[in-house]
């Protein structure tokens, strides 16, 4: 497994059309160039770059293969990183409005059931959990409302002997269909935003994590894996702003957890024997078993196109470039190994090809998705 890093540049919003753009494409594929009016230009290369004109579809088609490797038994973590307002939530959740453009999470929920239906010799089951990490506290987004407010059931992070991470008391709901999954997911998203009085403000200072536990049974064997989809809190440096009180505390918590994540990543990069999955950071503890050897991580770094944001943009691109240099271990061999020409591989490839040719996936009911 390893860490792959994609970069997405947000388009200028209609309210910003006047601003000067500080980030552009170059002739080299998957490279971005950062330049300010006076300064020297710097280039950054990633595994994939999505420029301002890219669509949710473009992003998801590059993410799809890693979703498939979660179904094949790898622990996978996909996380959106970047300054507030650069489009992390847009990429992960999507846009709720007149135009429907669902993001990675709703598309993944759809894709899991679609892929599972193609392979009838293998039986998949999925369980959904959602949680928020805010100033070091966990909040279970799928727990019944009364339970969320009472403090009797605290979520604790436990380390199992096998090195896997468990979260005590976290609600896990078996999902049987894509429509049920969407219903639950929407409920979790609403639960996140209704808890805080100033929803947008606070959501940028918390991490939102969606976990799908995947179990796969084939014959007498089975394997289990986890897929984490994470919308991280904004990475801006709060200390530079004149934040005070509550805002400052929130900023410190975010800075601490993102820097703990950075430490884990750089220790992995340098192949250090000790990886600092900090006891003080809930985020790195939760993601621990998805950041080690035998797991796959995808970081989606988001940046603003505006020249005035160049300071933050450079920080985010630097963090992401360091992450990109990592190889977490060897690629794990596929759990199931079939002959390339086994009848169902051939049949499934054919079915997949037909359904794509006919655009079946596009018909899978996006329009009703985001409307209540
Ligand atoms: P973040 O979660 O990083 O704070 P948001 O996802 O809330 O940022 O995005 C900020 C604003 O920019 C939102 O109004 C969002 O709809 C818009 N936006 C972000 N990315 C895109 C995009 N690729 N295309 C169109 N609008 C976008
Ligand atoms: Mg957000």
C-beta of residue 316 within 8 angstroms of C-beta of residue 23: no
Distance between Cα 207 and ligand 2 center (Å): 9
pLDDT for 127 equals: 97
Span 343-355, mean pLDDT? 65
pLDDT for 154 equals: 74
Ligand in closest contact with the CA of 304: 1
pLDDT for 181 equals: 95
258-313 pLDDT tens trace: 888 888 877 776 777 788 887 778 898 898 888 877 788 999 999 999 988 998 99
pLDDT for 169 equals: 87
What's the CA gap between 226 and 224, in Å, rounded? Answer: 7
Report helix, strand and coil shares of the chain as percent, to nearest 5.
Answer: 40, 25, 35
Residue 332 has pLDDT above 50, yes or no: no
Backbone conformation region of residue 207, classed left if phi is above 0, alpha if psi is from -120 to 50, else beta: beta
**Annotation-wise, does 83 bind a ligand?**
yes
pLDDT for 346 equals: 66
pLDDT for 3 equals: 82
- Residue length of the chain: 372
C-beta of residue 7 within 8 angstroms of C-beta of residue 29: no
Nearest CA to ligand 1 atom 23: 10
What does the domain layout of the chain look like in residue ranges? 4-370
Nearest CA to ligand 1 atom 11: 85
Residue 365 has pLDDT above 50, yes or no: no
With pLDDT > 90 as the criterion, what percentage of the chain qualifies? 41
pLDDT for 21 equals: 82
Distance between Cα 5 and ligand 1 center (Å): 19
pLDDT for 342 equals: 57
Report the pocket of ligand 1 as residue ranges, CB < 6 Å.
10-11, 13, 82, 84-90, 95, 204, 234, 302
Q: What's the chain's average pLDDT?
A: 81
194-252 pLDDT tens trace: 555 444 556 678 899 999 999 999 888 999 999 999 999 888 876 555 566 777 777 77
What's the CA gap between 246 and 314, in Å, rounded? Answer: 27
Span 103-123, mean pLDDT? 94
The domain 4-370 is placed in CATH, from the list 3.40.605.10, 3.40.850.10, 3.40.50.740, 3.40.50.300, at: 3.40.850.10
At residue 182 the predicted structure's pLDDT band, cuts being 50, 70 and 90, is: very high
Rg (CA), the chain: 21
At residue 322 the predicted structure's pLDDT band, cuts being 50, 70 and 90, is: confident
Distance between Cα 300 and ligand 2 center (Å): 13
pTM, rounded to two decimals: 0.83
What's the CA gap between 372 and 368, in Å, rounded? Answer: 8
119-171 pLDDT tens trace: 889 999 999 999 999 888 888 999 987 776 665 667 788 877 777 888 988 99
pLDDT for 364 equals: 38
Distance between Cα 228 and ligand 1 center (Å): 21
Distances (CA, A) of 181 to 50, 94, 175, 184, 370: 28, 16, 6, 5, 13
Residue of 6, 15, 50, 85 best suited for mutating to test ligand 1, as the one with most atoms within 8 Å of CB = 85
């Amino acid at each position: 497994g390893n860490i792959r890093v994609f970069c997405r540049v947000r388009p200028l919003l209609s309210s910003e059309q006047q601003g000067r753009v500080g980030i552009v494409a170059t002739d080299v594929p998957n490279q971005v160039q950062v330049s300010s009016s006076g300064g020297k230009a710097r280039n950054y290369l990633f595994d994939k770059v999505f420029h301002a004109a890219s669509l949710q579809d473009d992003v998801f088609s590059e993410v799809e293969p890693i979703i498939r490797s979660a179904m094949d038994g790898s622990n996978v973590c996909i996380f959106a990183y970047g300054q507030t307002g650069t489009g992390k939530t847009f990429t992960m959740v999507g846009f709720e409005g007149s135009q429907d453009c669902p993001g990675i999470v709703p598309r993944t929920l759809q894709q899991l059931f679609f892929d599972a239906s193609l392979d009838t010799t293998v039986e998949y089951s999925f369980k959904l959990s959602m949680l928020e990490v805010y100033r070091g506290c966990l909040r279970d987004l799928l727990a019944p409302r009364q339970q969320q407010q009472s403090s009797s059931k605290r979520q604790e992070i436990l380390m199992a002997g096998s090195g896997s991470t468990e979260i005590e008391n976290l609600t896990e709901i078996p999902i049987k269909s894509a429509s049920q999954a969407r219903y639950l997911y929407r409920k979790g998203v609403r639960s996140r935003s209704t808890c805080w009085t100033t929803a947008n403000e606070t959501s940028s200072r918390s991490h939102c994590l969606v976990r799908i536990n995947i179990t796969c049974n084939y014959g007498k064997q089975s394997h289990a894996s986890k897929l984490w989809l994470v919308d991280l809190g904004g990475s801006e440096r709060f200390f530079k702003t004149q934040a005070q009180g509550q805002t400052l505390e929130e900023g410190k918590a975010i800075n601490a957890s993102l820097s703990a994540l950075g430490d884990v990543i750089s220790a992995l990069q340098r192949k250090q024997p000790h990886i600092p999955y900090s006891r003080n950071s809930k985020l790195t503890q939760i993601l621990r078993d998805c950041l080690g050897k035998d797991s796959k991580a995808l970081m989606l770094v988001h940046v603003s196109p505006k020249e005035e944001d160049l300071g933050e943009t450079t920080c985010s691109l630097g963090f992401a470039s360091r992450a990109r240099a990592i190889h977490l271990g060897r690629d794990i061999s596929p759990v199931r190994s079939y002959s390339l020409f086994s009848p169902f591989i051939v049949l499934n490839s054919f079915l997949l090809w037909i359904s794509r040719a006919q655009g079946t996936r596009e018909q899978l009911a996006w329009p009703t998705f985001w409307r209540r």
